[in-house]
Amino acid sequence: MRGLPGSQAPGHQKRPVAKTPSDPPSYSAFAEIYDAWQRLYGLEYAILVAPRVNLRLAAHVGRPQTLIDLACGTGTHAVLQAHGGARVIGIDLSAAMLHQARMRAAGRPITFIEADMRTFDTHKPVDAVTCLYASLNHLLDPEDLTHTFKRVAAHLRPGGVFVFDLNSQEAFATLWRTPVTEHGPAFTLHRRFESAGPQTTMHLQIERPGHPTVRDTLTARSFPESDIRAALANANLTCTNLTHFNPFPTVPGTSLKQLWTVTAGS
């Protein structure tokens, strides 16, 4: 793991966290086509949900001046927030996703750090922390939610807000089930799924003209609402709003996603 020089406070480096199948190389191959793939369904997810997320942020901190985007991926949300005037730190475990993010963000006041959201430390409290597009579903153990939420709590200034989304069980039962082949502008993506209990593994095969076929594997799980609430309580965070929604204009379903708004304190 790399971060800002000295970004690991003493004691954090050694924190025992389970290795998950979402550690690299997941997203290594997917990163190159990730944004183009999202646009097959309209717009990048972070753009589709931006009005909802901004409303939730505004309810607590107005327009954030400082924001950490956890699991920032290719940086779409980080760039949107920088446009809105925030100084943004984007954190992600995948070097390949961060490479795309740095290209997208060129010249904007965004710092990208390769780090694990379960252990990150940027040393400075911020107005807001976000974590979008079901990134928390990649944590496979409820204890990892607690680790992550504790790090978030340590980074929220008094009155600060944490906004995150999760895939619901409905999303796993529909979006993460049926094999699909998708044709993009310059790629074909085959996705198939294997489920075991609450966990589902997505196998991706990416074909691009002039490139060797590459594969990627992403594992995610659903969490019962009680697990989320318990992990929030363990981190001394309180939910102020929970909304169920479907951001995708072309996909059926009413509660594919949960949007949680959380503040410090009980």
By the criterion CB under 6 A, which residues form the site for ligand SAM?
22, 27, 45-46, 71-73, 76-77, 92-94, 97, 116-118, 132-135, 138
Please identify, using beta-carbon distances, which residue of 66 and 135 lies nearer to ligand SAM. Answer: 135
Q: Write out the two tokens for 247.
A: 């951001």
Please identify, using beta-carbon distances, which residue of 94 and 266 lies nearer to ligand SAM. Answer: 94
List 110's β-bridge partners, or say none. Answer: 88
The values of phi and psi at residue 243, to 5°, are: -120, 140
- Alpha-carbon span 121 to 13, nearest angstrom: 10
- Alpha-carbon span 81 to 72, nearest angstrom: 12
The distance of closest approach from Cβ of residue 124 to ligand SAM in the complex, given in angstroms and rounded to an integer, is: 18
The distance of closest approach from Cβ of residue 93 to ligand SAM in the complex, given in angstroms and rounded to an integer, is: 4
Please identify, using beta-carbon distances, which residue of 113 and 237 lies nearer to ligand SAM. Answer: 113
List 167's β-bridge partners, or say none. Answer: 257
- Among all residues, whose Cβ is closest to ligand SAM? 73
- Residues 6+ positions from 39 with CB-CB distance below 8 Å: none
The distance of closest approach from Cβ of residue 94 to ligand SAM in the complex, given in angstroms and rounded to an integer, is: 3
Sign of CA dihedral 178, 184, 190, 193: negative
Please identify, using beta-carbon distances, which residue of 127 and 216 lies nearer to ligand SAM. Answer: 216
The distance of closest approach from Cβ of residue 103 to ligand SAM in the complex, given in angstroms and rounded to an integer, is: 15
E strands in the chain: 66-70, 87-92, 110-114, 126-131, 156-167, 180-183, 188-196, 199-207, 214-221, 237-245, 257-264
Please identify, using beta-carbon distances, which residue of 21 and 62 lies nearer to ligand SAM. Answer: 21
Q: Write out the two tokens for 250.
A: 């072309």
Helices (H) and strands (E) in the chain, counts: 7, 11
Rg over CA atoms, the chain: 17
The distance of closest approach from Cβ of residue 209 to ligand SAM in the complex, given in angstroms and rounded to an integer, is: 25
Please identify, using beta-carbon distances, which residue of 174 and 238 lies nearer to ligand SAM. Answer: 174
The distance of closest approach from Cβ of residue 34 to ligand SAM in the complex, given in angstroms and rounded to an integer, is: 7
The distance of closest approach from Cβ of residue 184 to ligand SAM in the complex, given in angstroms and rounded to an integer, is: 16
Please identify, using beta-carbon distances, which residue of 97 and 237 lies nearer to ligand SAM. Answer: 97
